Amino acid sequence: MHTHRPYLLAASLAVALGGGLSGAARAQEAPMSTAQMQALIEQQAAQIQALERRLSALEQQDAGTPAAAVATAPVPTAPVTGDAAIQAQVQAAIADSQSSDVALLQQQQAQVAAGGGGDRTSWRKGGPEFRSADRRFTFHPRGRVLADSSSTTGSSHDDRNLQGTEMRQVRLGAEGTMGDFRYKIDAELADNTVSIKDAFFGYETRVGGHPLELFVGNKLRDRSIEGATTLTRTPFMERNAVASIGSPDTGYFGLGVQARLYGNSWHWSAGVTGDDLGNSGDTSDSLVFSTRAHWNPVKRSRGFVHLGAWYTYEELGDDIDRINKVPRLVQHFNDNIRVSASAIDGTTRDDAFGVEVGGVYRSVWGFGEYTRRSIDSSSEPGVEHVGTSLYGGWLLTGEKPGFSTRSGIWGTTRVLRPVGEGGAGAFELVARYDDYDFTDAARGGRGKGYTVGLNWYLNNWSRLMLNLMRWETDNQVGAYKGKDSGNAVGVRAQVVF
């Protein structure tokens, strides 16, 4: 028996350890109650005791001692040596295994109780969001595809009557959180070029009981409703006149520091930013100081009233001594339907302010915005650019408009009956009036746009858009002088995740 005894010991130990490991695996597969965990431990202990009794019986039979005598045999008090020492080591290993199994099961039970059971993946944003059990760490791959088709007719200039398609935006990136820190990066692939848009990290804390967000990096400036809203959330295919005219010369994005403080019915932001990521690096940046605030004097479950104001001040860099504002009036594809403000030389600085008013009632919404931008020059008299936008909409299928009362910008419209889940999606009628007024300059032009549209939200991350537009321009300079007008049709299919 001594020849086979090591194998019996090894087999016993393997069975005992195997029982512990299988129990731990079952605990990992499904959350266990305290009673279930205790029952598993007691079952393992009983199996180990049975193995010990069988091993002792085999040893006694090998020595010629009846198995029944095993239960009554006295426990030896002599020093443990030889085979008895090996048996003691096996028993110690079994005890260690039991202790480790208990500790492992207790640890797993605590994780289940604290975090709901291991890592989780959510698909509520249209793409996977991975998060840890305690939800302090998340990672969400991001992307968007905006495919446009547009047609312009009716202009007295043939080369303004254009038809075509384009990928308006294609972006890939990621966002996530690391405890109180968050990050986001988006790379845009459009017009056969690659550019970085959002690229920042942020930190959230509280000041005076209110949430405070701090951002460092390249980010949309908080300026006007649609100027601070990503294009995939605006109710029209292109941003309005106020967002365009009130923009600093450095554009919608700025690289620097921004902060946002939130209350129950208000928010306030401030930022100090330079050029975006496209600066060549051989001259100093322009410097932009910006601030914006909004307030909801009425905020109920059925709707709210929105009031807002903003201001930007821009010190122009040495590489910018001329401003020539020529915004588009129709879809992005057509570069020729523009209104010219006429060029201003010797520019040194500019500032702009804007006001916002509007609100939401159930499924109906409406807003009005106004901006005035002043541009100073060292060689010419200063001029002012003025923009006005009035727009509204109605969600025919009963959804609430995706407008955020927290930050005062457009967010996600939550579809009640998504396509693919037995529903028809959400349908929204929209209308807008835009006025581009550059007539303060000696040769400044003027443009107007009248847009009606239909948005079909298939689900929370995809929609189809139709914009019908009547446009008018009266330019004093450029290739298309004088009054001109026409019609434009735009169609967009977009997916955002």
Residue 233 has pLDDT above 90, yes or no: yes
Q: Are 252 and 394 in contact (CB under 8 A)?
A: no
Which of 81, 115, 149 delimits the end of a domain?
A: 115
Are 212 and 232 members of one domain?
Answer: yes
Domain extent, residue 476, equals 120-496
Q: Kindly state the percentage of the chain with pLDDT values over 70.
A: 76
User: To 10 degrees, what angle do helices 82-115 and 34-62 make?
Assistant: 170
Q: What is the pLDDT of residue 173?
A: 96
Are 83 and 125 members of one domain?
Answer: no
Are 110 and 126 members of one domain?
Answer: no
Q: What is the pLDDT of residue 8?
A: 43
Residues pairing with 364 in the sheet: 361, 394
Are 207 and 234 members of one domain?
Answer: yes
Q: What is the pLDDT of residue 393?
A: 98
Are 395 and 460 members of one domain?
Answer: yes
Are 72 and 138 members of one domain?
Answer: no
Rounded CA separation 286/254 (Å):
10
Is 285 or 231 the better-scoring residue by pLDDT?
A: 231
Q: What is the pLDDT of residues 76-86, one digit of tens each?
A: 444 545 556 55
Which of 54, 80, 115 delimits the end of a domain?
A: 115
Q: What is the pLDDT of residue 69?
A: 44
Are 305 and 420 members of one domain?
Answer: yes
Which of 100, 115, 130 delimits the end of a domain?
A: 115
Are 94 and 141 members of one domain?
Answer: no
Looking at residue 455, the DSSP 8-state letter turns out to be E
Residue 109 has pLDDT above 80, yes or no: no
First to last CA, the chain: 69
Residue 489 has pLDDT above 50, yes or no: yes
Q: Are 429 and 396 in contact (CB under 8 A)?
A: yes
Q: What is the pLDDT of residues 20-40, one digit of tens each?
A: 444 444 444 445 555 565 566
Q: Long-range contacts made by residues 101-110, C-beta under 8 angstroms, separation at least 24?
A: 101/20, 101/23, 101/24, 101/41, 101/44, 102/41, 104/24, 104/27, 105/23, 105/24, 105/27, 105/32, 105/37, 105/40, 105/41, 106/37, 108/24, 108/27, 108/28, 108/32, 109/27, 109/32, 109/34, 109/37
Average pLDDT over residues 466-479: 97
Are 31 and 152 members of one domain?
Answer: no
Per-residue pLDDT band at 396 (split at 50, 70, 90): very high
Q: What is the pLDDT of residues 312-325, one digit of tens each?
A: 999 999 889 999 99
Q: What is the pLDDT of residue 7?
A: 44
Which residues are CB-contacts of 164 (< 8 A; sequence separation ≥ 6)? Answer: 149, 150, 333, 334
Q: CATH no. for residue 315?
A: 2.40.160.10
Q: Which amino acid is at 294?
A: H
The number of folded domains in the chain is 2
Are 84 and 21 members of one domain?
Answer: yes
Are 165 and 61 members of one domain?
Answer: no
Are 73 and 139 members of one domain?
Answer: no
